[in-house]
Amino acid sequence: MFSRTGLPREILTDQGTPFMSRVMADVCKLFQIKQLRTSVYHPQTDGLVERFNKTLKMMLKRVVQRDGRDWDHLLPALLFAIREVPQASTGFSPFELVYGRRPRGLLDLVKETWESESSPHKSLIEHISQMRERISKVMPLVQEHLQKAQEAQKRVYNRSAKLRQFQVGDRVAVLIPTVESRFLAKWQGPYEVVEKVGEVNYRVHQPGKRKPYQIYHINLLKPWRDREEVSAMVGVGIESDGVDAVHIAATLSKPQTQEVKEFLQRNKGMFSGLPGHASGIKHDIVTEPHVKVRVKPYRIPEAHRKAVSEEVKKMLQL
């Protein structure tokens, strides 16, 4: 990339091992490149890259064969299709923004054959001058389109966004993926905020972890609440089916206590310890005729098999 586009001033990466290595740090120091890293488990910072990967995967699913073994042979054609088509955010194709001219694609070839057109020959100086002139005209339009697209995306995102801030010394819970799977994230803590790195990033002290100090995005943090605070001082119990384990705080007034009791009585089925039956939606899984679906069970670590077996037995009894 450096030999093709030149040395950048800044590089934004995630905290993957290759980007955190000493070699990467030495390269950035040698070429005077400012290295920017995203906070862990927050791919939204690399939104352009993640969105492009999603688009490419969707295109591969449409054209790949059933066995899925020929996807690597389709990459050049799909990448050309992405580079050739104008984008909604900019109004121009990625190829045109980089090289200052439109690519000669399959539709252009059909048009030339149909109209018997031939491309005129130009000198190198004419080509460069025309390319610079075209880029100077295109960039204001690109910036205008990008600004409109960003404002539209900002309005959609801010509809449900809430402004939150933490102070140094606050105890927080952190949403961290488990060792088994990144998709099985759970809140862990309590940890302490030691520094506000930016508008949305905080350095958190995690005693006992391999990295005792880690930077997290604010979306992965929430205030820590002790069990005593959550239960609000266990008070008067309610004697009814399914809600006998629910308690009402003694700090509530009599009208509030009565309102909570009536609410629990109306929804006592929601507090039952036994699972019920869902009848609101019916769904059929349609498979191909005369094809038996065989799926291998997921491999479970030896240390977790006993717990999984007990949980399965409990579910079968329920």
All structural domains of the chain, each given as residue ranges with its CATH number in brackets, are 2-158 (3.30.420), 171-224 (2.30.30), 229-271 (no CATH)
**Exposed e or buried b per residue across 78-88, where buried means at least 16 C-beta atoms within 10 angstroms of its C-beta:** beeeebbeeee
Is 174 in contact with 204 (CB distance < 8 Å)? yes
Amino acid at site 37? R
Q: How far apart are CA 191 and CA 203, in angstroms?
A: 10
List, in sequence order, every residue forming a beta bridge with 171; answer none if it has no partner: 192
Identify the burial level of 174 via C-beta atoms within 10 angstroms of its C-beta, where 0-12 means exposed, 13-18 middle and 19 or more buried: buried
Q: How far apart are CA 149 and CA 130, in angstroms?
A: 28
Is 219 in contact with 202 (CB distance < 8 Å)? no
Task: Output the tens digit of pLDDT for each of the chain's 318 residues.
Answer: 888 888 999 999 888 889 989 999 999 999 999 998 888 777 778 888 888 888 888 888 887 766 677 788 888 888 888 888 888 788 888 888 888 888 887 777 777 777 765 556 666 677 777 777 777 777 777 778 888 888 888 888 777 777 778 888 888 988 877 665 555 677 888 899 988 888 888 989 988 777 888 888 888 888 887 765 444 444 444 344 556 667 788 888 888 888 888 888 777 777 766 667 777 888 888 888 888 888 888 888 888 889 999 999 988 888
Is 171 in contact with 189 (CB distance < 8 Å)? yes
User: Residue with structure tokens 């491309």?
Assistant: 119
